[in-house]
Amino acid sequence: MNKIIKATYPVLKLHCAGCAANVEKIMSKMDGVKEASVNLASNSLTVSYDKDMVSASDFKSAIQAGGYDLIVESEQSKREELQEKEQLKHYKTLKRQVIGAWIFAVPMMLLSMVFMHMSFSNIVQLILAIPVMVFFGNSFYIGAWKQAVQGRCNMDTLVALSTSIAFLFSLFNTFFPQFWYDRGLEPHVYYEASVAIIAFVLTGKLMEERAKGNTSAAIKKLMGLQPKSAFVMRDGVEMEIPIEQLLIGDSVIVRPGQQIPVDGTLSEGNSYVDESMISGEPIPVEKNIGDKVLAGTINQKGSFIIKASQVGGETVLARIIKMVQEAQGSKAPVQRIVDKVTGIFVPVVLIISLLTFILWWAIGGTQVISYGVLSAVSVLVIACPCALGLATPTALMVGIGKAASKHILIKDAVALEQMCKVDVVVLDKTGTLTEGHPTVRGWIWVKKEYEALKNVLLTAEMKSEHPLAEAIIVALHEEGVEPINLTGFESITGKGIEVVFENETYWIGSHKLINDNNATLPNSVIEELLEFETNGYGLVYFGMKNNLMAIIAVADAIKPTSIEAVEKLKEQGIEVCMLTGDGYKTAQSVARKLKIDQFEADALPEDKENFIRELQLQDKCVAMIGDGINDSQALAIADVSIAMGKGTDIAMDVSMVTLMTSDLMLLPQAFNLSKKTVRLIKQNLFWAFIYNLIGIPIAAGVLFPLFGILLNPMIASAAMAFSSVSVVLNSLSLARSK
């Protein structure tokens, strides 16, 4: 039994990338924790752990000891509800702090810039600064102290140190100005810098929180599809209960216009159900007794009763939401580099700040000590680990969320990043390029008397899982053929099936079975067979021992969007190949219609796998798209595996990406979205790194000897606040793009 559990918990009191790194360090040191990852953009912790060694309550205790907090309620919906309440509460508190800080900051700036020579100006500024530092900015000092006790540091450390240094330096100059006058220097105060830093940083955090809320818009929209309550029949009484109290086997009543609360089957009534939010298909689907319905879909007309088969977190919709959340919380390979940088960022900044002060003092002596303090404070303030920490997760959250809203489910950040590198797309034919709902277009019976064995053919195909089998079953049912009892059945992978009836062995499948059974094609069928192949029909062969008895022509129509999708992929510079188990002429006919140059017919599962390997040996990054069991080997070894989902038939567990609808146009959209998201991540990281690489030296005073330019801590704090917000806003631009 698997003891490893993967869960996501909301984290509270995260302020910057340093906080995220600290929580990850706390978690990684715990026994039983296999992997822990914190997403700063969504304020969430994703952890894989051994349930026999450690529990969620242990996580909470450890994280609280580190100065943060964790919501560990057992129900996911409850955790999300509490997180939303806490975030709203935090946002309102932050808003009050911002307003309060600016009420004091504005008059202080006027005093320091316009009325600096006024009597008692320094005392008035001191009085105005104290409320800001004690009340509106106290979270920075509390946070910094908690980190210091743990031997760690984060953005709170930078803000607390910079404002404290500026304040204490000003306090000394206010009450002991003679110290500087005796040395021929004028004492300066920087109370306004302390207050402005707090005001600007709080404003930046407020804007950041507001913008970050928009990055999870897609997941909130998905969660909005889940109804809060359901009507059930229990002991003959109809009652409304919260969705969390539903049980498997419950009889759930759904009236017109209501969202279906569970996955289940109709036990009474009938209706039309809008499944577009799950399957992407716009036309409502008729549902009768015995048909399956999914949570989150909408009942259109009639009332019906469902027998619940999956409830709560086990429904298809809940699994989709969980998958998107986990994908948004995952880390792209590039993020690992960023994590290493942010892990040492704050200590490095502290060292640079100290060196800045020492260099100013060493070069200019006491004459420039004010400049040294100012520059050291500016270095502490302008350095921004948040911009680095938010660069990747915000872009991923928006990109993966946007994909989900377009019915493209991306399993993790690695898949998203890998997709933009794809050179070759390999497509399975049946069910991917074609509708996967073939119909019988013609029969060739070698001898008239063989038609008496249609019942053997029907029963055999009823046991088969091949996509073409359903077409033959439907055709024979329409003729009134009845199934019989067979005494043996064997599936021959990639070829077909064998059955036994009245001690005779019959085979049904591809033309490979003709060779395997040493059967021959009679001259009487050659002309008609060639016509079938020219039309691109799929062919099923039916025989007994070494006798071919019938050939069934089955047409699987090409999807309306397949031609355009292949064209779009080529426009993106991606090579397109097709694999199929059908014969060469059938494959050639389909490939010609789709303008696919490279294809392989008669492909067994191992042939598909070998085809992928050969491309990879040519240093190609290969994406495989399929929808059947016979594609699983090729999907497993492809650089990017993409499954065609069909409502409940979702291959989310085995593929890196799932296209929820049958529309192949989602494929070029997925690749395009991947490229845009990765480009956005690179843009964010570039600007975050450049901002710090340029900002820190300027704050340290490198421009002063040449141009006399010294960065004021107020401007530094404004720049720092803007850098984080600009990264989040840049990520949100993806949500608005077409």
Nearest to 557 by CA among 389, 404, 435, 430: 435
As given in the structure block, the two tokens for residue 251 are 């009889």
Closest CA to 327 of 423, 397, 276: 397
Looking at residue 250, the DSSP 8-state letter turns out to be -
Whether residue 642 contacts residue 624, with contact meaning beta carbons closer than 8 Å, is answered with yes
CA distance 635 to 420: 18
> Residue 631's closest CA among 674, 578, 552, 563?
578
Q: Which two tokens stand for residue 226?
A: 């889940």
Q: Is 560 helix (H, G, I), strand (E, B) or coil?
A: coil
CB 279 within 8 A of CB 292: no
Query: Among residues 299, 291, 298, which one has the least CA distance to residue 271?
Result: 299
Please check whether residue 80 is in contact with residue 244, taking contact to mean a CB–CB distance below 8 angstroms. no
Q: How far is CA 240 from CA 223, 226, 227, 237, in A?
A: 20, 15, 12, 10
User: SS3 letters for 131-200?
Assistant: HHHHHHCHHHHHHHHHHHHCCCCCHHHHHHHHHHHHHHHHHHHHHCCHHHHCCCCCCCCCHHHHHHHHHH
The rounded distance, in Å, linking the Cα atoms of 196 and 717 is 8
E strand or H helix that includes residue 47: strand 44-50
Alpha carbon distances (Å) from 345 to 17, 380, 387, 564, 693: 9, 11, 12, 48, 12
**Residue 696, class by beta-carbon neighbours within 10 Å (0-12 exposed, 13-18 middle, 19+ buried)?**
buried
Q: Which residues pair with 508 in a beta bridge?
A: 497, 542
Tell me, what DSSP letter sits at residue 68?
A: -
Structure tokens at 294: 């999914």
Per the residue annotation, which of 156, 274, 412, 428 is the catalytic one? 428
Strands (E) in 200-300, as ranges, are: 229-234, 237-242, 251-254, 263-269, 271-274, 285-287, 292-293, 298-299
Q: From CA 598, how far away is CA 300, in angstroms rounded?
A: 45
**Distances from the Cα of 425 to the Cα of 342, 624, 680, angstroms:** 37, 6, 24
What's at 96, amino acid-wise?
Answer: R
b (16+ CB within 10 A) / e for 456-491: bbbbbbeebebbbbbbbbebbeeeebebeebeeeee
How long a stretch of residues is the chain? 738
Give the side-chain half-sphere CA count within 13 A for 181: 7
State the Cα–Cα distance between residues 418 and 657, nearest whole angstrom: 11
Contacts of 522-525 spanning 24+ positions with Cβ under 8 A: 522/446, 522/548, 524/446, 525/444, 525/446, 525/551
Are the C-beta atoms of 587 and 389 separated by less than 8 Å?
A: no
Measuring CA to CA, which residue among 258, 227, 256 is closest to residue 243? 227
For residue 246, what is the DSSP state? -
Whether 428 is catalytic: yes
- Catalytic (active-site) positions: 428
